[in-house]
Amino acid sequence: MVAADSPDSSGGALAPRRQLVTGPARSGKSRWAEHLARQHPGPVLYVATAGRHLEDPHWQARLEIHRQRRPPHWALAELQEGLADGLSHLQPTELALVDALGSWVAWGLEQPPLSWQASVEALASAVEACPGRLILVSEQTGWGVVPPTAIGGLFRDRLGALEQELARRCQRSWLVVAGRALDLQAISEPVPR
């Protein structure tokens, strides 16, 4: 059940409690999520789900771009295994921007199916019960070439299923393509389960 929007803490317009921002690589989804987070009148926690990968200079350059875009007063948490638990500690006045679910899925790729399903259920429950506001960023995969490896196919399948599970719990879902954000709730119908 998706909770109704509620007034933001400044008494202003209705703000969604949970939003999903998805799109392909380099589409602008992180920038859009950051734009949405900047509108929050209270504290913002940026939740990074990827490892640091200190040996990869290209990855470090991408992380630095994200760091430079974030306002200095936003807090930072690096969570993978503890993502669900971390969301439960959010304060009602806080907003967490989780960037991104693909890194969280990659962390769990070695989990067998039953363990993975338990992780997904824990995250979905944490999203639904989160006392603060959430913006979840997720990569879109599977729009083109079929992954040439079994692990690539597993990643695509798990991420797609996770996005559908979490989108049902969000008041707003955004699709960001070529630097344009589309409000999917406003222009779409849910696919029957």
- Give the catalytic positions in this structure: 66
* Cα torsion 110, 113, 114, 116: sign: positive
Residue 59's Cβ-count burial label (10 Å; 0-12, 13-18, 19+) is middle
- Find, among 4, 26, 17, the residue nearest to 176 by Cα: 26
Distance separating alpha carbons of residues 185 and 59, to the nearest angstrom: 33
Q: How many residues does the chain have?
A: 193
72 Cβ contact partners less than 8 Å away, ≥ 6 residues apart: none
